Amino acid sequence: MIFDDNYSMTIDGKAVVSDAGIAVVNPATEEVIGHAPDASRAQLDAAVTAAKNAFPAWSARPIGERQAMIAAIADHMLRHKSAMARLFTAEQGRPLGGAEWEIDVCAQWCQAVAGFTLPVELVEDNDTRRVEIHHRPIGVVGAITPWNAPLLMAIWKMAPALLAGNTVVLKPSPYTPLSTLKLGELLRDVLPAGVLNIVSGGNDLGQWITAHPDIGKVSFTGSTATGKRVMESAAQTLKRVTLELGGNDAAIVLPDVDPKTIAPQLFWGAFFNSAQVCVAIKRLYIHADIYDAVAHELVEHAKTVALGDGAQQGVDLGPVQNGMQYEKVKQLLDDARAAGQKFLIGGEVPEGPGYFIPISIVDNPPENSRVVTEEAFGPVLPLLKYDDIDDVLRRANDSETGLGGSIWSNDLDQARAIGARLETGTVWINEMFAFLPNAPFGGHKQSGVGVEHGMAGLLEFTNSQTITSRKLASAV
C-alpha cells in the first residue's frame, strides 16, 4: 500500500530513509502527521550520481518513449487521486476539492507536455552548406519547490525537464514534502531508475543542490529573497537557472462592470488556497464610481465562505500552511490595526489550534502601508480606490515585482490596451489563474528570471547547439 504513513525518498529507483526526520504538521490541527527523511549530503550526492548515470540512456531514448512515460505519470496520479488528495489536504491545508483540482491539473499538464517535441530549426540549406539548430538536454536538473502548491510545482518542473531528456533531483519544501515523496514512490514503477530522484530536507539541502558541481541547471520556485540566494550560489558553477518568485499582483476593476457578477471571481482570484498563490490578486484597485458597491459585494460573498479544516465536508478555505507564515500574516494585520486602518471584514485572529486567519479585507489603506506594499501570502486583501487610469497604472507598476496582473471590464479592447501597460509577465483579462501548458509564464523585475511552460519554458531545460556542415570541395 503506497499511501501508508511511511515516507521515503526515491534515489536511483529505490526507497531511501534517513536517521533524521522532519516532522510534518497538519496546519488545521497543528498535529504531526508524518516524518519526512532529512537527507544527508551523502544522500544528495547519491541522488545526483544516480541522475548523472541515468542521463546518457535517458537522453538517448527516442522522444516518443519519454513522451509515453510522461503521459503515464498522469495516469498514475489520477488512479491514486483520492488518497493523494487526502494527504495533500492534511499537509497543505487546502480543502479536498482544491487538492483534487491540483492533481487534475498535474495530470492535464503531463498529457499536454507529452505532446511536445524539441524543434530542429534549419536556418540555411543549399548546395554547399546546411545549418541546423538543435536543443540538447543539459544533464542533471535540480528542482526546488515551495509549499503552496507542492504537486503542481513539482510537475511543472519535472515533466518538461524529463521530456527534454534531462534527469532530475527534486526537493520539495520541508513544510509539505509528503505528497511529493509519495509521487516519487508511485513513479518508481513508471520511470527507469535514477531518472527522477526525490530528496527531502531543509533549506540546507536546497543550498547543497544549488552548489552541486554535477547539477547543470536549477529550476526554482519560491520567494524572491531565496531566489537571489539560489542565483548567487548557482553562479559559482555557472548553472542555468529559472527562477519563479514572489509577486504583489494588482487587479484593476474598470467602472463598466457589474459589481455583483464580478465579486465572486475577484474574491476567489484573491483568496483561493487562503491567498497563498504567487499570482493571486494582492492589491485590488477599484474605480471610485463602483468602489462601494464592489466592496459591499465582496464582503457579502466572504460571509458565505466557510473557513475550517479542509478535510471536513463543506469547508471552502483552509488555514495558512505553516506557523512561520501565520505569524507573518498576523503581524501584517497588527500593523494595519495599529495604523488605524479599517477592516470591512476580518482582521481579528482567533486562538488556535490551527493556523486559521479569517478573510480580512482592508478598506482603502494608504498606498505606502505594509498591507499594500508587501506580499501577504495569506488572506489579507487591501481594496484601493482610483479615478484615473494613468494614476492606477502608475500605482500598480510601482513595485519591485512584476509577476501577474488582471484587468476587469466589459470593454475588451480597452482592457487589453490597459493590460499591455502592466509591467508583468502575465496579464489576465476577466479571468484568473489561466495557466496554459503552451503559453510561457514568468516574472518581470524581481519576480523571476526566465519562464516555465510553452516552447520557451521547455527550451530552458536545454542547451542550444548549432551544427553547420559544408560539403568538402571536390578534388577535381
Residues with catalytic function: 244, 278
CA torsion, ordered 391, 395, 397, 403, to nearest 10 deg: -130
Query: Which of the stretches 108-116, 242-250, 259-267, 293-301 binds ligand NAD when contact is defined by CB under 6 A?
Result: 242-250
- Tell me the residue type at 259: P
Q: Which of residues 191-220 bind ligand NAD (CB under 6 A)?
A: 203, 206-207, 210
Burial of 193 (0-12, 13-18, 19+ CB in 10 A): middle
Say how far residue 221 (Cα) sits from the centre of its chain.
Answer: 6
Q: How many CA atoms lie within 13 A of 275 on its CB side?
A: 29
Alpha carbons 59 and 176: distance in angstroms, whole number = 30
Which C-beta is closer to ligand NAD: that of 345 or that of 432? 432
Residue 245 binds ligand NAD, judged by CB under 6 A: yes
Provide the minimum distance between the beta carbon of 187 and ligand NAD in the complex, in angstroms, as a whole number. 19
Toward ligand NAD, which CB reaches closer, 99 or 230?
230
Which listed residue (188, 229, 330, 370) binds ligand NAD by CB under 6 A?
229
Distance, in Å, from the CA atom of 352 to the CA atom of 126, rounded to the nearest integer, reads: 73
Q: Which is nearer to ligand NAD, 215 or 257 (CB)?
A: 215
Strand-pairing partners, residue 135, are: 464
**Dihedral angle at the C-alpha atoms of 265, 267, 272, 278, nearest 10 degrees?**
90
| Sequential DSSP letters for 210-227 | HH-TT--EEEEES-HHHH
Q: Quick one: which of 13, 95, 222, 457 contacts ligand NAD (CB under 6 A)?
A: 222
User: Which residue from 263, 403, 407, 451 is in contact with ligand NAD, where contact means CB under 6 A?
Assistant: 403
Among the listed residues 10, 18, 167, 173, the single contact to ligand NAD using CB under 6 A: 173
Q: Which of residues 272-291 bind ligand NAD (CB under 6 A)?
A: 278
Closest CB to ligand NAD among 171 and 182? 171
Q: What are phi and psi of 289, to 5 degrees?
A: -60, -30
Q: Bridge-partner residues for 466, per DSSP?
A: 133
Q: Which residue has the cell 571536390?
A: 474
Task: State the minimum distance, in angstroms, from the CB of residue 109 to ligand NAD.
Answer: 14
Judged by beta carbon, residue 253 or residue 280, the one nearer ligand NAD is 280
CA pair distance 178, 172, nearest whole angstrom: 9
242 is a contact residue toward ligand NAD (CB under 6 A)? no
Instruction: Pick from 8, 18, 43, 226 the residue near ligand NAD by CB under 6 A.
Output: 226
Residues that bind ligand NAD (CB under 6 A): 144-148, 171, 173-174, 203, 206-207, 210, 221-223, 226, 229-230, 244-247, 278, 375, 377, 403, 443, 448
